[in-house]
């Protein structure tokens, strides 16, 4: 059974950086678009970013454009979300999801940005 | 990039039917048949239950169905069961490689 697994979350101060990773242990992400979605504690889902299977096409929500960068390492079958200049309102569980239908989600990784 | 509009809550008794709406604009819901719905139980990741407006992934009960009229999409849950109590989110493509979620609806099974 294909699964997604996020990692890299943690506690960081405002203005700091974190790099999240999304892997599919035992399976390949090479032909799938991958999205990042976040969910602040107790709140709803918010789309963050999307990357094409070969990494050549990316897109971002307005609130993160210029601060976040999505990329993929095809050799390591991994998608990364580099988050710079983090703000308190970036605090959330970050999920990666497969395809434009978001048909498979990871368990999420919690990012806490303190002031 | 404003969130799609969903009612904050909905409820029904076991066996009843409930419809959840998701309102956007001609730039998202009304402009594309790329509307999907997700079910999320507390502490769990979201699960896809409807895609491309009215298609069900394998394994999703046919009690769940989707439709769209103009700028509003609908999720119908028929024959409510206790395990349907969860948060439900809609999502739509919004052009320019952008996606938007709804604010979410908490469904209570009374």
CB atoms A47 and B91 under 8 Å: yes
* Chain A residues with CB-CB distance to B51 below 8 A: 101, 103
- Residue A24: per-residue pLDDT: 85
Q: Which residues contact B17 (CB under 8 A, 6 or more apart)?
A: B76, B77, B78, B79, B80
- Give me the mean pLDDT over the B100-106 stretch: 97
CA angle B95, A95, A7 (to 5 degrees): 135
Q: CA of A35: which chain B residue's CA is closest?
A: B99
**Closest chain A residue by Cα to residue B33:** A101
**Cβ contact, residue pair B96, A105, below 8 Å:** no
**Number of other CB atoms surrounding residue B15 within 10 Å:** 10
Min CA distance, B91 vs chain A (Å)? Answer: 9
- Compute the distance between CA of residue B29 and CA of residue B7 in angstroms, rounded to an integer: 16
In chain A, whose CA is at the least distance from the CA of B52? A101
In the structure, what pLDDT confidence band is assigned to residue B54 with cuts at 50, 70 and 90? very high
Which of A57, A59, A108 comes nearest B98 by C-beta? A59
High-pLDDT (> 90) share of chain B, %:
95
Residues of B in contact with A47 (CB under 8 A): 91, 98-101
- Are the beta carbons of B101 and A105 separated by less than 8 Å? no
One digit per residue, the tens of pLDDT, for chain A of length 115 reads 778 999 999 999 999 999 999 998 777 777 889 999 999 999 999 999 999 988 899 999 999 999 999 999 888 889 999 999 999 999 999 999 999 999 999 999 999 999 9
Place of tokens 């799609």: B4
- Residues of chain B with Cβ-Cβ distance to A35 below 8 Å are 99
| CB within 8 Å of A42: residues ≥ 6 apart | none
C-alpha distance from residue A46 to each of B19, B56, B102 (Å): 22, 23, 8
The confidence band for B22, taking pLDDT boundaries of 50, 70 and 90, is: very high
């Amino acid at each position: 059974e294909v699964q997604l697994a996020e990692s890299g979350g943690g506690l960081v101060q405002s203005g700091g950086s974190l790099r999240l990773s999304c892997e599919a242990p035992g399976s390949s992400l090479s032909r799938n678009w991958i999205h990042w979605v976040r969910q602040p504690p107790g709140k709803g889902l918010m789309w963050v970013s999307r990357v094409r299977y070969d990494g050549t096409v990316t897109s971002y929500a307005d609130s993160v454009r210029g601060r976040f960068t999505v990329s993929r390492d095809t050799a390591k079958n991994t998608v990364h979300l580099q988050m710079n200049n983090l703000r308190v309102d970036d605090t959330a569980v970050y999920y990666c999801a497969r395809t434009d239908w978001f048909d498979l989600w990871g368990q999420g990784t919690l990012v806490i940005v303190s002031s | 990039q404003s969130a799609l509009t969903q009612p904050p809550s909905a409820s029904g008794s076991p066996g009843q039917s409930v419809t959840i709406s998701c309102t956007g604009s001609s730039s998202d819901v009304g402009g594309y048949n790329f509307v999907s719905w997700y079910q999320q139980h507390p502490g769990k990741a979201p699960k896809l239950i409807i895609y491309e407006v009215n298609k069900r992934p394998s394994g999703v009960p046919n009690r769940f169905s989707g439709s769209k009229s103009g700028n509003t999409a609908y999720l119908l849950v028929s024959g409510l069961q206790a395990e349907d109590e969860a948060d439900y989110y809609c999502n739509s493509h919004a052009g320019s490689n952008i996606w938007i979620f709804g604010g979410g609806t908490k469904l209570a099974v009374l």
